[in-house]
Amino acid sequence: MLINVILSGGAGTRLWPLSTKLNPKQFIPLIEGRSLFQECTRRNKGLVDATMIVLHEDHLPVAREQALSVGLADPIFIVESAPRNTAPAIAFAALEAAPADILFVTPADHVIDVNLHYMQSLSQAVQLAEEGRLVTFGIEPLHADTGYGYIEHINTRVISFHEKPSRAIAEAYLQKGGFLWNSGMFCFRADAYLDALAEFQPTLLRSCQYVWEQKKKNIPVNASFYEMIPSVSIDNAVLEQSSNISVIPSRFNWSDIGSFDSLQQYLTAGDNWNHKNVFLTDDCMQDNFVFNQDGKPIALVGVRDIMVIQTSEGMLICKKGESQRVKEVYNLFTQSN
Amino acid sequence: MLINVILSGGAGTRLWPLSTKLNPKQFIPLIEGRSLFQECTRRNKGLVDATMIVLHEDHLPVAREQALSVGLADPIFIVESAPRNTAPAIAFAALEAAPADILFVTPADHVIDVNLHYMQSLSQAVQLAEEGRLVTFGIEPLHADTGYGYIEHINTRVISFHEKPSRAIAEAYLQKGGFLWNSGMFCFRADAYLDALAEFQPTLLRSCQYVWEQKKKNIPVNASFYEMIPSVSIDNAVLEQSSNISVIPSRFNWSDIGSFDSLQQYLTAGDNWNHKNVFLTDDCMQDNFVFNQDGKPIALVGVRDIMVIQTSEGMLICKKGESQRVKEVYNLFTQSN
């Protein structure tokens, strides 16, 4: 059985104040009135046999409602009381699945054009997963992006993983070739992933199993139980350590909407941003981006290359190209609250 | 009798969204918790025998309260049902006064340091006013400001009035010398002003007299009566036409707070602006100005030389040095409402 595991536990703080802990980016209607979570669910449901959704318990109502609205009446919800990063989230899905089930793991907050390339990549990945490989999806880079990690490869063989690079290094990757964007999407048999955890992260696996067994016995598992689980990404926990890794070099259009700079491209492309009650001097029309969710009047005079995001939560004014730095002000904001 | 006539009828739209029609800039607490109206009232009350306040009827309660709070219990309020610019406003004050009274006319929304220079200028002005002259105050320019009109002069003799200049012309004025900023403050006998109106603006004077007589008979005078009065500034109506003009070249510190660029200097000087709930990346600390009256979080990332004004009315993001252009967006804003 092929199962789409949708990772919906993220808080998306790099998109503050649009995305907040209470209302993270994956559940906000952005693309023609649909959320990224709805887009993900819709995109994959026809391609798989079942859908599992891993998420924080606070978001269960909105996820249930949004899944239903795109025709997914009976997904399997895997509820966490505290977010523990991707390695534990996927472990819960693998424990829930049958050992031979293939898990197609997709973060809820990516933008992807479904086309033939997407189908082909998934098909290749499933084939390798059936052979027991841990498969990751790498995207052929379109530009020297500094917001993504990179995978160095030869065909489906992974040579090494690289952290988010500086601009100079990103440009060198692009020039040299043989580097892919690390998409954060994966495909593997449930037992292959659990075996890898047993080998590289035995403590993490044990604590996930413990929590899982408690829940199966209907013993309430609160946040402090979850806090015992190491908070580690699947990349650090398994992929960078295992030799049983394959990568699918993929050509479908993909973005992780990790910052306002990347979000902006999708919103303006479809003219899908809210310019209600926005007032601009003539010279401000072209080079600025204003998203006015709150609806209170916003006026711009003589400014260039800035992004303005107004929501009920707050107001962000960010130089274009610098939205990776939103976490700096988000940290100041959370410290003061 | 020396009477301070405080012109408080302005709407201050160049300071939108801080200043609004309902709550114009002169009544907003800006300087150490006091409004510019309070500062004006306080500054002059010890120097004059009486105070007249010309204002829109909507602002009578706030003006009464603010005047009382700075120890002025019994000013004379001259209430307009519609604003008709400065020439009619001063006409009403002149009609209310005795013919030989000296009117010291001061807009409510200026910032002035009271010092010896201020006293000297007022004293000189009163002397010339007693001789029947129409006296205007010119400020020795400190820089090539493009936001003010200029008065070309030799001593107290006015050669000509000049509109707000371009930067190049303003710099030429400063270099050449003999030019003063037109302050919008005046001093004259009530009868001298009414005589000048009779000569240059007979229609305006007659319509003001008509409204005035109706009010004296306790006949209600509504906005449509006021709309019949020509809306003209004292500069256009009288000063630029009369030969009976004198100017007092003055050296006191003065600003008309006509834009956020000028307001900003006064607020930051006293560290008197509101940076509650403002979050800045390190590189945003120095070159930006944020006034957060609303209190909702504002975050700045990577931007330079911008002014951000957030109030319950709306949000303005303005390039420093371009705040004269706020009227452009204000016009768009009012058209859409």
Task: Report the pLDDT averaged over residues B101-119.
Answer: 93
Give the minimum alpha-carbon distance from A11 to chain B in angstroms, rounded to a whole number.
18
Chain A positions in Cβ-Cβ contact with residue B310 (cut-off 8 Å): 315
pLDDT class of A271 with cuts at 50, 70, 90:
very low
Q: pLDDT digit string (tens) for A216-266?
A: 999 888 888 888 899 999 999 999 999 999 999 999 999 888 889 888 877
What pLDDT score does B226 carry? 86
What single DSSP character describes residue B105?
E
Cis upstream peptide for B17 (omega within 30°): yes
Q: State pLDDT tens for residues A138-176.
A: 999 999 998 899 999 999 999 999 999 999 999 999 999
- Min distance A280 CA to chain B CA atoms (Å): 6
Peptide bond into A17 cis (omega under 30): yes
Comparing CB atoms, the residue among A298, A302, A317 nearest residue B300 is A317
Q: What value does the CA radius of gyration of chain B take, rounded to a whole number of Å? A: 20
What is the bridge-based pairing of β-strands B157-162 and B150-154?
antiparallel
**Span A13-71, pLDDT tens digits:** 889 998 888 889 999 888 778 899 999 999 999 999 999 999 999 999 999 999 999 99
pLDDT in tens, B150-172: 999 999 999 999 999 999 999 99
Residue A184 Ramachandran class (φ > 0 left, ψ -120 to 50 alpha, else beta): left
**pLDDT over 50 at B237, yes or no:** yes
Query: What tokens does B203 get?
Result: 């229609």
- The alpha-carbon gap from A250 to the nearest alpha carbon of chain B, in Å, equals 34
Query: Nearest C-alpha of chain B: how many angstroms from A288?
Result: 11
Burial class of residue B266 (count of CB atoms within 10 Å of its CB; 0-12, 13-18, 19+): middle
Tell me which DSSP letter residue A269 carries: H
Contacts of B333 in chain A (CB under 8 A): 279, 297, 299
Asked if A51 contacts A3 with a C-beta cutoff of 8 angstroms, the reply is: yes
Chain B interface includes A297 (CB < 8 A): yes
Instruction: Tell me the chain B residues in contact with residue A304 when contact means C-beta distances shorter than 8 Å.
Output: 319
Complex prediction ipTM = 0.80
Distance from CA of B300 to the nearest CA of A (A): 5
In this complex, do B306 and A322 lie within 8 Å of one another by their Cβ atoms?
A: no
Contact list in B for residue A321 (CB cut-off 8 A) is 302
Q: Which of B279, B315, B330 sits opposite A296 (nearest CB)?
A: B315
**Chain A residues within an 8 Å CB radius of B277:** 314, 336
**Record: contact A330-B299, CB cut-off 8 A:** yes
Cα B272 to chain centroid distance, Å, stands at: 21
* Candidate ranges A15-24, A72-81, A185-194, A274-283; pick with highest mean pLDDT: A185-194
A329 and B17 within 8 Å at the Cβ level: the answer is no
Q: Are A195 and A53 in contact (CB under 8 A)?
A: no
Query: Per the CB < 8 Å rule, is B330 touching A299?
Result: yes
Q: What is the pLDDT of residue B271?
A: 47
A196-200, B186-190, B289-293, B301-305: the lowest-pLDDT one? B289-293
